[in-house]
Structure 1
Amino acid sequence: MAITTATPRPAAPAGTAAALRVRPLPAADHLAFLRGRRALTDSGHGGQVSFLQTPAWARVKDGWTAESLGWFDELERLVGAALVLHREAPGVRRTFAYLPEGPVIDWSSPRLAGWLEPLLAHLEAGGAFAVRMGPPLAYRRWSARTLKDATGPGRSVHEVLPDRVEPVGAVVADRLRAAGWSRCDPEPGGGGGGGGDAQPRLVFEIPLAGRDLELVWSGLNQEWRRNIKKAARVGVVTEVSGPWDLPAFHRLLGITERRDGFRLGRSLEYYERQYAVLNEEQPEGGMRLYTARYHGEVLAAHTLLRSADGARLWYQSGASADHLRHVRPSNALQWQMIRDAHLLGASAYDMRGIPATLDPDVRAFGLLRWKLGTGGEAVEMLGEWERPLPGTVNRSLHKAMRGYLARR
């Protein structure tokens, strides 16, 4: 049967949510649907189209099985899609179902239950005992100026009155609670978006839509502009590289982890697989590797990911050497990545996770301070939500799996 896709628009798709059906979706149709979502993405009604929701991401992840699912209306038109990852619980043939930064549906629909109930029914029939999802919606926003003014001992982003509360995100949060979903709890005072979430809840982004490069440049603070100019003056060369420089990137990543006190635990093979798989799915550049060289030596290397609909680019991982930091290779590299995101027509450049602390004496604040210098905004996403499927055994398995994932 040929699959047709409903034309994206801010309004709810044709038909009522109650008429929607969920069933497996071929990967090619899944990707084509995501590519056609730009209008809804920019309107804010459909949320973001994350790189974590592309069919190719299933081939990047180890230890999970996956399926692509589609929502079809009463006219058999494809109106929603999701990548679902499944982790089998030890000793039983039941799975924990996870939709990272998904699903991709019309989140503004007043009948949200009509979208989620057929999803739950499909997953339960397939042996899932619980479901976790991350609606790709912004909830609250703070400008760089607001957070700079609020810094101080013991202060946190969550204590600061936001500049904007996103109406769709706020309404969806209320509807999910009413439908029995529970928001994954963050760690008290934590960073990076909360210990309860697998993906960062607090992120930092630079809006690009409707802004020319001169306006984006003027949004950088004086330190950023000075560092970018210095890198150019002393001869730092930035470029889009390729997979041949992934070993250099991974070596620098290890240096960065030791210096900054974090551990990703990702192997070189992981990044090589990610690069190959994402660029096979999007030959125009699903993943790029950028390098900054000084006298021929790679001093910094950053990875950039692109959404299937082209609306968003993500700075995924950054790595830099301990020496020659005064030539500012990372600032130069970021500026090229921002310029390229603008040239590619992205609506936003997403710098991913930031800590919640606004205390300058806390080590993690350094990362936030660096990103605040770009003049963008901190965004609290709606976060991840879970729901055990009916049954005592399911609730027990769900509790055990949450403990397992927390330890990981």
Structure 2
Amino acid sequence: MTVVLPEAAAPAADTGPLRVVPIPGPEHVAWIAAHGAVSFLQCPSWGRVKAGWRSESLAWTGAGGRTVGTALVLYRDVPGLGRSFAYLPEGPVIDWAGPGLGRWLEPLVGLLRSRGVFTVRLGPPLDLRVWEAGTVRAAVRAGGAADLRDVLPDAVDPVGTMARERLRALGWEPAGRDTQPRFTFRLPLAGREPEGLWEGLSPEWRRNIRRSRAAGVSVAEGSFADLECFHALVAETQLRGDFDLGRGLGYYQRQFTELNRELPGRMRLFLARYGGEVLAAHNLVTAGRRAWYLTGGSASHERWVRPSNALQWAMIRAAHGLGAEVYDLRGVQPSLDPAAPGHGLLRWKLGTGGRVVEGAGEWEIAVNRPLHKAFRRYLARRQG
């Protein structure tokens, strides 16, 4: 599997001492735009989405003050202590493949220590293993493995494996429970034509899309005013699936506003209508050369017209048209048991013909060990 590194963070770019310094948000956004393999969770706007958190844009500078890496840091303050927990979701954006990982992370930890941080958590934007859709389907049919991790992968990324070993050597440890999904589903778009993407869909997906067309389902882009409808459909989906994302309408309004304030069109809302009624609504986020399907909801009636399949096909084509190299459908569960919770979602995403990717997981380091241990005990009780 090919690992794409930001050009400015390539191994030969800078081998001298590095400094970590705050940078203005617009400068951070410009750097992200020039380095396409960056998660939307590392965009400055994401810090403004997260109520209850403070955020800061940081940069690693090398010779001549040139920026060679960036990070969005989220701070969660502990009331009354003057201390905080620092979190870098799917970041930082640095040279993870180079030999000197400590020269990147040690100045980061030093700066955060000066900010009163007691624990630093980061999510290396690296992959470990990849399973193609056909491999996953074959494993489910065979019935011998209960979990995807028991199935031989189609590819292994040595950079992710190596980075984990180096993190351990530097004193980092795996987080008790990842905040972002460890397993995600991605559809490669680079170098493919729309006809090839269509042929890559499963027969069931193609039938469902044709059924939507024949029934008269239409897909169009929505606006801020449609978020109330979107939220209602998400709530209906949660009730039907017996889960709760814990997000109110205000969260989605803030998300839509802040991401698009940073870059118009960074977040888009797509609606599927049938008989004049919106039956499904999904959102799409773009950053650099990637696109993500974040959240979606659908009505419990008229499901026979398959609005979600029509919606996703329109979003895949939109992402492809924007030049995205990967369409990320976010988290899936690794269970291969058809009766397990979440397996239906995995099966649905497999229909796009993409692949399941296991990430390197999230890692923590104790800056203040007593507070770090107390915080971990608190999280263990809260999570259950």
Aligning the two structures, in what range does the TM-score lie when normalised by the shorter sequence?
A: over 0.9
User: Could you tell me how far apart the structure 2 residues matched to 1:214 and 1:269 are?
Assistant: 39
Pairing 1:258-337 to 2, within 5 Å after superposition: 258-283=239-264, 285-307=265-287, 309=288, 311-337=289-315
User: Could you tell me how far apart the structure 2 residues matched to 1:401 and 1:213 are?
Assistant: 49
Deviation readout 1:241-290 (Å, 9 max, x if unpaired): 1111111111111110011121001011110111011001011x110000
Superposition deviation, residue 58 in structure 1: 1.1
Superposition deviation, residue 138 in structure 1: 1.4
Percent of aligned pairs sharing the same letter:
51
Equivalent position of 1:11 in the other structure: 10
Which one-letter code corresponds to 1:156 in the other structure?
D
User: Could you tell me how far apart the structure 1 residues matched to 2:45 and 2:276 are?
Assistant: 34
**Taking structure 1 as reference, are residues 149 and 392 closer, same or farther at Cα in structure 2, changes over 3 Å only?**
closer
Asked if the contact 2:139–2:145 (Cα under 8 Å) also holds between the matched residues in 1, the reply is no
Query: 3-state DSSP class of the match of 2:297?
Result: strand
User: Could you tell me how far apart the structure 2 residues matched to 1:248 and 1:15 are?
Assistant: 50
Counterpart of 2:203 (choices 208, 222, 227) is 222
**Taking structure 1 as reference, are residues 83 and 156 closer, same or farther at Cα in structure 2, changes over 3 Å only?**
same
Which consecutive unaligned segments of at least 5 residues does structure 2 have?
A: 1-5
Asked if the contact 1:134–1:383 (Cα under 8 Å) also holds between the matched residues in 2, the reply is yes
Asked if the contact 2:8–2:69 (Cα under 8 Å) also holds between the matched residues in 1, the reply is no
User: Could you tell me how far apart the structure 2 residues matched to 1:11 and 1:320 are?
Assistant: 43
The answer to whether 1:370 aligns with 2:348 is yes
Superposition deviation, residue 13 in structure 1: 5.0
- When structure 1 is superposed on structure 2, of 394-403 and 205-214 the one drifting more is 394-403
Superposition deviation, residue 363 in structure 1: 3.5
Query: 3-state DSSP class of the match of 1:75?
Result: helix
Deviation readout 1:326-383 (Å, 9 max, x if unpaired): 0010000000000011111101000000011111122321111101111100000111
Equivalent position of 2:80 in the other structure: 91
User: Could you tell me how far apart the structure 2 residues matched to 1:396 and 1:331 are?
Assistant: 45
The answer to whether 1:76 aligns with 2:65 is yes
Asked if the contact 1:25–1:69 (Cα under 8 Å) also holds between the matched residues in 2, the reply is yes
Counterpart of 2:117 (choices 128, 132, 135) is 128
Which consecutive unaligned segments of at least 5 residues does structure 1 have?
A: 1-6, 42-48, 186-195
Pairing 1:185-204 to 2, within 5 Å after superposition: 185=176, 196-204=177-185
Asked if the contact 1:388–1:398 (Cα under 8 Å) also holds between the matched residues in 2, the reply is no
Superposition deviation, residue 107 in structure 1: 1.3
Which one-letter code corresponds to 1:402 in the other structure?
L
User: Could you tell me how far apart the structure 2 residues matched to 1:205 and 1:120 are?
Assistant: 32
User: Could you tell me how far apart the structure 2 residues matched to 1:85 and 1:9 are?
Assistant: 23
Query: 3-state DSSP class of the match of 1:216?
Result: helix
User: Could you tell me how far apart the structure 2 residues matched to 1:404 and 1:313 are?
Assistant: 35
The answer to whether 1:388 aligns with 2:366 is yes
Superposition deviation, residue 225 in structure 1: 0.2
Asked if the contact 1:14–1:73 (Cα under 8 Å) also holds between the matched residues in 2, the reply is no
User: Could you tell me how far apart the structure 1 residues matched to 2:138 and 2:51 are?
Assistant: 43
State how many pairs are aligned. Answer: 377
User: Could you tell me how far apart the structure 2 residues matched to 1:134 and 1:225 are?
Assistant: 36
Asked if the contact 1:129–1:398 (Cα under 8 Å) also holds between the matched residues in 2, the reply is no
User: Could you tell me how far apart the structure 1 residues matched to 2:259 and 2:228 are?
Assistant: 18
Asked if the contact 1:255–1:322 (Cα under 8 Å) also holds between the matched residues in 2, the reply is yes
The answer to whether 1:346 aligns with 2:324 is yes
The answer to whether 1:27 aligns with 2:7 is no
The answer to whether 1:56 aligns with 2:21 is no
The answer to whether 1:205 aligns with 2:182 is no
User: Could you tell me how far apart the structure 2 residues matched to 1:336 and 1:14 are?
Assistant: 39
Asked if the contact 1:355–1:368 (Cα under 8 Å) also holds between the matched residues in 2, the reply is yes
Cα RMSD, aligned residues only? 1.6
User: Could you tell me how far apart the structure 2 residues matched to 1:57 and 1:378 are?
Assistant: 25
